[in-house]
Homo-oligomer: A and B are copies of this chain.
Amino acid sequence: MGSLNNVETTNKPINPLDPEEFRKQAHLVVDFIADYYSNIEQYPVCSQVKPGFLTETMLKLAPLEPEPIETIMQDVQNHIIPGLTHWESPGFFAFFPCTASIGNFLGEMLITGFNAIPFNWLASPAATELEMVVLEWVLNLLQLPKSFWFSSDGGGVLLGSTCEALVCTLVAAREKKLSKVAAEEGVLEKMVIYCSDQTHFSLKKACGVVGISPQNVRAIVTTKSMNYELSSLALLNAIETDLRSGLIPLYVCLTVGTTQTTAVDPLGTLCEIANRFDMWVHVDAAYAGSACICPEFRHFLDGVEEATSFSFNPHKWFLTTLDCCCLWVKDRTVYTKALSSDPEYLKNKPSESKQVVDYKDWQISLTRRFKAMKLWMVLRMHGASGLREFIRKQVKMAQHFEKLLSRDKRFELVVPRNFATLCFRLLLANQSSCDGDINMLNKQLLESLNATGRVYMTHAVVEGVYVIRVSIGAVLAQDKHVSMLWDLLQEHAEVLLAKYVTPQVISTLV
């Protein structure tokens, strides 16, 4: 037991949550952030600091005494901001967008302010029920079938990431299968997972977490001729081959909007095949799910009604910040059986009545944030029409950029555009140029564009072809930013092409 000797004393009365101090200092930070958004274009989009810029300069010891907010915010301005990559900058075209909004911000303030921890219903009934309300709203916006809802045998939950959704559904699929197959040694080593070579790497990682060896993950090869979609014939062949080897096909992950090229796997036929072998089918629409609230994009989800589970990330393109992933499952009994536990200290009457949802049984961790609040605020403050308008505006900008690209014969659009992400490359006029040279050229082009600090884009490699990826989606991006990107692209392409004489020259430029 601790004694109370050696107590340090300070003269200030202690209330780290004093409402009037809170009010004063939080107002100050609101203004700081509003100013940050006003000035965001003055910062290089991708940070240009060097490794160790902060770890080598910051003190190794925490401050002993409290410091004034003014000093701290000055450090944020002078030392933190230069080291940020500005995901909300209108010049951010990298990865996928991660879209902040006013509604989301206010929701996050309330989440932190209330700090309710809804691991079970009683721990904050409003947090659990608002999660159910908002997930039903989104289910309806996406026109997902009612079989994914609590009124049938299904249900939904807000998780932190797609990877978490994959781990949870893999565990549920594994436990379901284990309860059906004969209990024999090494049965876990026989379970096989299927996806395409375009599936997000998180699936392989999630398999590793749940104890499925990488050797049992079949990443089926896709091709340009099929727009990098998973072929149903190839899936069928892979499953049948594994069955002949005595393996157990367990789970297939389909993607609506793959990470590299936003390819859309044909859900209908693929689900049909998987269901034939009693497999779990998860549909990951992390990025493109958002677009599917617009009727003109909804067809990309056709066939989802035959899936076992479906997830998408509002924290990508749905005006919501990290972390927020919606997962719906068709059989909540199977799903929660694999993840639930009932320790004594959490026992309570509402849970025992079975009339409530205890979300601790829907995820890996016990603790959870009141995430529903921010998604609810986003939907109320911006409305379904606001979200659709936002998505459509971005798609229009992408269409415009696509048109500019397609008119300029120096560029090649490597895959057709599905949403607001484009994959293209600069070509070499010399017909004999090999892909290696063109790859190097595009790598240089991307690096020189990013080095300007005005834009940040990333790359992908499909069938050995290096492509520059532009994902339009930053909330603050307007037409003028797409024009700026186009001007920059032309300017840097011209400089590079002018330098180009022979492939050898390119090599020396690296």
Report A350-385 residues with CB < 8 Å from chain B CB.
350, 353, 355-356, 364-369, 373, 377, 379-385
**Total count of chain A residues near the partner, CB < 8 A:** 179
Report A80-113 residues with CB < 8 Å from chain B CB.
80-88, 95, 98-106, 108-110, 112-113
A6 located at the interface, meaning its Cβ lies under 8 Å from any Cβ of chain B in the complex = yes
Q: How far is the CA of A79 from the CA of B373 in the complex (A)?
A: 12
Given A62-B137, A117-B87, A125-B85, are A163 and B51 neighbors across the interface (CB < 8 Å)? no
Chain A 186-215: CB-based contact to B (< 8 A → 1; otherwise 0): 101100000000001110111011111000
4 closest residue pairs by CB, A with B? A211-B211, A83-B126, A185-B186, A54-B129
Report A1-16 residues with CB < 8 Å from chain B CB.
1-10, 14-16
Residue of B nearest to A259 (CB): B345
Q: A116's contact among B67, B85, B355, B356, by CB below 8 Å, is which?
A: B85
Q: Which residues of chain B are near A7, meaning CB under 8 Å?
A: 388-389, 392
Q: Which residues of chain B are near A173, meaning CB under 8 Å?
A: none
A141 located at the interface, meaning its Cβ lies under 8 Å from any Cβ of chain B in the complex = yes
Residue of B nearest to A349 (CB): B447
Q: Which residues of chain B are near A461, meaning CB under 8 Å?
A: 344-345
Contact at A202–B366, with CB atoms within 8 Å? yes
Contact at A66–B126, with CB atoms within 8 Å? no
Q: Which residues of chain B are near A125, meaning CB under 8 Å?
A: 47, 49, 51, 53-54, 83-85
Chain A 164-180: CB-based contact to B (< 8 A → 1; otherwise 0): 10010001001100000
Q: A36's contact among B37, B67, B113, by CB below 8 Å, is which?
A: B113
Q: A161's contact among B87, B297, B366, by CB below 8 Å, is which?
A: B366
A76 located at the interface, meaning its Cβ lies under 8 Å from any Cβ of chain B in the complex = yes
Q: How far is the CA of A113 from the CA of B105 in the complex (A)?
A: 7
A396 located at the interface, meaning its Cβ lies under 8 Å from any Cβ of chain B in the complex = yes
Q: Which residues of chain B are near A84, meaning CB under 8 Å?
A: 114, 116, 124-127
Chain A 13-40: CB-based contact to B (< 8 A → 1; otherwise 0): 0111111111101110111111111100
Contact at A395–B2, with CB atoms within 8 Å? yes
Q: Which of A82, A121, A206 has the most CB atoms of chain B within a 10 A radius of its CB?
A: A121
Q: How far is the CA of A458 from the CA of B346 in the complex (A)?
A: 8
Contact at A115–B88, with CB atoms within 8 Å? yes
Whole-angstrom distance between the Cβ of A297 and the nearest chain B Cβ: 4
Q: Which residues of chain B are near A373, meaning CB under 8 Å?
A: 80
